Structure formats: C-alpha cells, structure tokens
Amino acid sequence: MKTFFFNFEDGLEQKYIDWAKEAVQDFINLFPEYKDNFATKEANFTYADINLQTLANQNREIYEDRKRRQISTEDFDENSFWQMFEKLPDGSYKASFEKQIALATRNGMLDIQKLSSLQTDAAGNMYSASMPLLINITKQKAHGNIRGISTKIAVNISAGTCAALGYQGEDLKAYFKDIIIHELGHSFNATHEERQNTVENLGTHCTDKNCLMYEYAYTNESFNRRRRLKEPFCQDCMASMRDYMQNELHFTRRNENQTLHVNQGQDTQTPAENGIDAEFKKALREVFSASAKQQNAEYVEDAKLPIYSAEIKHANGSVDKITAASADNVFLSAKDKDGNLQLPNLQRFRDIVALAQKQGSAIEFGDIKSADFKARLLVACLEAKPAMQMVGAPELNDEFLQTVQDEKLKNLLQVLKNKQQTQAQPQQTQTTAAQTPDINKLLQQRNGGR
C-alpha cells in the first residue's frame, strides 16, 4: 500500500489544494492495474514510538560517514532537527510542516533543498517501500526558482514559484499539475540509472522530448509541446514505474488472473450486446491510433460496427487489421499491397502488449495457426519491461526456433533466448539487494530538483 499524505502550507490558495489532489489522482489513474494499492489522506504524521535522540544520533553518524567518504560536505543540522518536531500531549512527536518551512526559509524565500533534507532527517531509518509519500505544497517562492524536488519519501512543490512564472487560469493549472506528476515520476523510479534513454542533469531524466520526465520538461517550450499530447509519460518511463510498483513496492495487481487473448485472423463472432459506443473500444483506439501515427501510417476505424474494427495502412500498401468484440479478445491479421495474406507488422504485437500492460492482463496465446505469428507475439512479450506474463506461449527452445521461417525473427528470438539464460542467475541476487532500504542511499536521493 502506498498512501499519499498531503501537507499544505497555511494560507495556500484553495485552487492549489484542489489541483494537487487532482494531479495525484491523475497519476494513480495511469496505473489501473495497481489502483487498489494507493490511498490519499490529509497529513497527520506522527512518530509515536520513535526515540528522537536515537534518530538524531543516527543522522549524525550518517552525515559524518558521508563526509568521510567524500560524498558530501554537509553537516547534520542538529538544531534544526529538534526544532521541526512538536511534542504532542500523549508524548509522541509530530514533524511539523510549518516548522520545517520556517527553518528552511531565508529572507522570505524557501530553500526547497533544505526543506527536503529536513524531511529526510525526520523520516530517518524509518524509510521502507510501504512508507507514505508526503505531497508537500508550499505557498512560499523558492530560491533559485526551483518548482519542485522529490525524494522517495516526499515531493515538495513550490506553488509560489509556479504562480510567479506568468501562467494564468487553465495553463497555470496544467503547469502546476505537470510539475507534481513529474516529481512523482522521480519518486516512482521512472528514470532509474540502469535504464536506457536517460541523461544525468539535476537528477536522472528521460531523453524523450515528449515525455514529462524529459530533462527540460519544465520549460515553456516543453510545456507547450506536451499540451497537445495525451499521455504524460513515454512507454519506457511507464514501464520503469510499473516495474518499481511490482518488484520494489510489491503491489498486488488487480485482475491477477485476467488475460488478453490474442488470435490470428478476424473476429467473426459479434456479440449483439456491444454497442457502437462500447467503452472497451476506447482503450484499443488509444493504443492503435497513437501507434499508427508514430509509424506514419494511416489509422482507419469503422466506428459504426458493434465490434472494434480498425485498419492501419502503411505507406508500402500493406494493411494491418485489428478486430475485437471485447477488451480481452483481440484478432490480428494483415494483407500486403496486392491483398495477399501476410503477417501483421511486429509493432502490432507490441501494441497489444502495451494494451495488456495498461489493463493489467497477462497475454494468452489464443487461436494461432502460424509459428511466425506466435514468434512475433513472443518477441513482443519478452521485450516488454517488465516482461509480460504469458499463458499458453510456446517454449523458447531450439525445437520452436526451427519452425520459425522469418530469419530476422529467428535471430531476434535467439538473442532473447541467450539473454534469458545469462540473466537467470545474477538477477535474483539483485532483487534481494534492492529490497533492503539503505539509509545512506536514501539520503543521497535528492533526485529531481529543478
């Protein structure tokens, strides 16, 4: 379970409170399969059982250790540490957001890095994957024009800085929400260091210009470019976050047993109950129309039919056809420019995997006659990150490889097969290490300030 605790600085305008809650909800909605693992609450964060003296000592040691190892020159600010807590009548302590803000403010402006660092000290070694994530919104403007900063325990956003940028009305709302969702991306490991297509610039960022995790996502130019797009994050960032939720936070997936059947051919059985505006068509349309656009292909949907039926027409004259009577039973076929049957473009299989990931389903190999069709679906499933759960998939062995005719496909599968073998061992040790929260690592994780 991951609970978002909201902290709003006293005097913050109501609209920022509403927008912050909306942004967090928008973020949660990106992961329908993990939706049940999220909760949101107004903050009332107390440390009932913690001995603050022990925590202070631990912090001091951590800071000294980091200085010894020349990771940082920062000293533990013990005075500030004690001053951010309020003692409650029952003897427990509460880390006060107002006090943290006061301690991190100079000349009426907020040092947002300092604020973040105080919160990390207050959380101390209590960090674990199941710990709540604080969503802290300040009224104050931040030094250095920093809009937001994130750690694994808190996201700090300066509404004051966002307000001073000159955006108005809906633009201000969209921008402010973008900043929050960007910082949440950091907190949920969207751009971790082992991933490709990232760059190190004030935290790790994505190299995809259309992605909200892009290194210059905060600029006016990026904001305007992105406003025309529907999806905030690129597929790589989405996959990294899903991976984090599944493997580090150990979220439970909704519809654990739900599968998406993939079949070869066209759907000939049309259930009468599906109206032309059936809800399931939306998810299919989103995936396939966006993908066609990326391939510079034409997307044509026959919206008058009770089932989902779309064609993707490529420049070379070939056409992929997708039909589905429900969200969990998809049929794929294709023809070349002369109307002869051929295998659908590999991208269609990747689209189906993306669709299954969105729904939180496993892929079930349905009615499929050709080995090459199976092979394409297998490639798309194995390439996916995290790897797609499969039902009824052929085993990736030499016997299967011999039945595949397309040489390029065969080579691709051979590479994936070798990778599977070499990865099996070291991956296991990696997972165990990653599960143990490391306080030193946590304190360094001031990722994503801007």
Of 211, 287, 322, 443, the one binding Zn ion by CB under 5 A: 211
Residue in 85, 103, 104, 80 with CA at minimum distance from that of residue 95: 85
Of 213, 260, 287, 334, the one binding Zn ion by CB under 5 A: 213
Q: Tokens in use for 291?
A: 């993908």
Distance, C-alpha 307 to centroid of its chain: 31
**Is 24 near Zn ion (CB under 5 A)?**
no
Beta carbon of residue 176, minimum distance to Zn ion (angstroms, whole number): 15
Nearer to Zn ion, 205 or 261 (CB): 205
Q: Quote the CA–CA distance of 122 and 59 in Å, as a whole number.
A: 9
Q: Which of residues 311-340 bind Zn ion (CB under 5 A)?
A: none
Beta carbon of residue 103, minimum distance to Zn ion (angstroms, whole number): 24
Beta carbon of residue 406, minimum distance to Zn ion (angstroms, whole number): 31
* β-bridge mates for residue 7, sequence order: 136
Q: Which of residues 225-254 bind Zn ion (CB under 5 A)?
A: 234, 237
Residue in 284, 252, 253 with CA at minimum distance from that of residue 267: 284
Beta carbon of residue 148, minimum distance to Zn ion (angstroms, whole number): 8
Nearer to Zn ion, 203 or 360 (CB): 203
Nearer to Zn ion, 29 or 201 (CB): 201
Stretch that binds Zn ion, among 68-76, 151-159, 206-214, 389-397 (CB under 5 A): 206-214
Q: Tokens in use for 252?
A: 């439970």
**Is 146 near Zn ion (CB under 5 A)?**
no
Q: Is 264 helix (H, G, I), strand (E, B) or coil?
A: strand
Please count the residues of this chain forming the interface with Zn ion, following the rule CB under 5 A.
8
Q: Where are the beta strands (DSSP E) in 316-373?
A: 319-326, 329-335, 341-342, 362-365
Nearer to Zn ion, 366 or 448 (CB): 448
What x/- string results for residues 78 through 117 when contact with Zn ion is judged by CB under 5 A? ----------------------------------------
CA distance readout (Å), 333 to 287, 296, 304, 324, 379: 17, 19, 20, 12, 17
**Is 30 near Zn ion (CB under 5 A)?**
no
Distance, C-alpha 277 to centroid of its chain: 29
Beta carbon of residue 210, minimum distance to Zn ion (angstroms, whole number): 8
Cβ–Cβ contacts within 10 Å for residue 337, how many? 11
Beta carbon of residue 191, minimum distance to Zn ion (angstroms, whole number): 7
CB within 8 Å of 265: residues ≥ 6 apart: 331, 332, 333, 367
Nearer to Zn ion, 47 or 218 (CB): 218
* β-bridge mates for residue 263, sequence order: 331
**Is 179 near Zn ion (CB under 5 A)?**
no
Q: Which of residues 389-448 bind Zn ion (CB under 5 A)?
A: 448
**Is 206 near Zn ion (CB under 5 A)?**
yes
Query: Rounded to the nearest 5°, which phi and psi values hold at 35?
Result: -50, -40
Beta carbon of residue 133, minimum distance to Zn ion (angstroms, whole number): 16
Nearer to Zn ion, 179 or 413 (CB): 179
CA distance readout (Å), 21 to 26, 39, 93: 9, 12, 26
**DSSP category for residue 388:** P
Interaction site with Zn ion (CB under 5 A):
203, 206, 208, 211, 213, 234, 237, 448
